[in-house]
Amino acid sequence: MPHFNIVRESKPKNTFRVQYVMGTYDLQTDNIVERFEGGVDIPEKWNVGLIVGKSGSGKTTIAKELFSDFLITNFEYTHDTILDDMPKDVSMNDICMALNSVGFSSPPSWLKPYSVLSNGEKMRCDIARAMLESKEMFVFDEFTSVVDRNVAQIGSLALQKAIRRSNKKFIAVTCHYDIEEWIMPDWVFCTDDMTFRTVDAETQKKNKPKLKLEIYETKEKEYYWRMFRKYHYLSHSFNKAARVFLCTCNGELCGFCAALPFPHPLKKNTWKGHRTVVFPDYQGVGIGRNFTNYIAEIFKSEGKTYISTTSNPSMIFARKNDPLWITTHIGRTSRGSENGKIQNKHKLGSTSSNRITVSFEYIGECKR
């Protein structure tokens, strides 16, 4: 059991201002000595830990004492895109997987410099970068301190899933107690009273927070598309003939999905997913999957066939592993090609051609 007994003493110079404050408030020298003593009995098997307590209770001091080699310090971001700030010895496939795994699934934002990202995106970017480093454990001080509480909660839920999938170890250090139920820690150390406790899997499952999704159709298509279009991974274009659905999570707008009639050669009355976007701060917790499945079920209940074609790796992975969908076609885009040969192959942006696309059909509860 790692035990600590930390004494932190400040010795200010005897200036006029110091004398004034000590005299006015009748302070003694021992008033500026802090002591932190306790123990952290970390279990052998764990993935997520939480150090929580009020400001000034010693969270950062204790984290530095016990886990100094694993603290995430301020990463340097100096390039024009966050992609080029990721570790140089890591493949692009691993970088994309890490960003997607923490719920940062907005490729247009990957092409931006770190400085212009939202606070929620910065938090996820930092975690993805830490996961790509060689260390098996990392500690994040002031976790969720600079994001609003709804984003902090959703982000925590997404991040703990990513950490467990990667089988790494992550410790969040925060003054926000509401994070506990969302980050679902295996152990908690509270610096308010220096107490340590473990959290078993059954308790985690029982306390797992519920996301309340509400989905409805809207006629104000273009108005809402303007809010979401910059986050779409492929295109800002939008067909006005589409039916448009919106999704809210715990009362906050988070998703946009459009569908169009599709002239299927074999199946009449077919509709196809046209544009699906989930705000970056709400990615990584299954909202997109549940949102689109609900819409597909609406069309199925109306006697329609609902299909979807995507080149988004995260969406392809989710659909392939979802029994409600079947794969109907795997191919490559041909835009920008001629006679099977990719044109302008030396020009930036030509990689949008010849990318893998996968088509799916929604079958609902039917067996494959």
pLDDT at 134: 67
Q: Would you call 94 helix, strand, or coil by DSSP?
A: helix
Q: Would you call 245 helix, strand, or coil by DSSP?
A: strand
Ordered DSSP codes for 158-209: HHHHHHHHHT-EEEEEES-GGGHHHH--SEEEETTTTEEEE--HHHHHHHPP
Mean pLDDT score of the chain, rounded to an integer? 86
Residue 348 has pLDDT above 70, yes or no: no
Least confident piece of the model among 14-18, 36-40, 226-230: 36-40
**pLDDT digits 0-9 by tens, 230-254:** 888 766 778 889 999 999 998 999 9
Residue 351 has pLDDT above 70, yes or no: no
Least confident piece of the model among 91-95, 132-136, 172-176, 177-181: 132-136
What whole-number percentage of the chain has pLDDT above 70? 91
CA 241 to chain centre: 32
The encoded tokens of residue 9 equal: 């003493």
pLDDT at 177: 92
pLDDT at 31: 61
Residue 39 has pLDDT above 90, yes or no: no
> Does the domain formed by 213-362 have CATH 3.40.630.30?
yes
Domain map (residue ranges) of the chain: 1-38, 40-207, 213-362
Mean pLDDT of 61-76: 86
pLDDT at 314: 79
pLDDT at 149: 82
Within this chain, domains 40-207 and 213-362 share the same CATH topology: no
pLDDT at 173: 94
Contact yes or no for 254/260 (Cβ under 8 A):
no
Mean pLDDT of 36-50: 90
Contact yes or no for 336/344 (Cβ under 8 A):
yes
Q: Would you call 295 helix, strand, or coil by DSSP?
A: helix
pLDDT at 339: 37
Burial tier of 101 (Cβ tally within 10 Å: 0-12, 13-18, 19+): buried
pLDDT at 364: 93
> How far is it, in rounded angstroms, from Cα 237 to Cα 28?
68
Domain covering 40-207 in this structure, CATH number: 3.40.50.300
Mean pLDDT of 173-196: 93
**pLDDT digits 0-9 by tens, 148-180:** 888 888 889 988 998 998 889 999 999 999 999
> How far is it, in rounded angstroms, from Cα 258 to Cα 227?
14
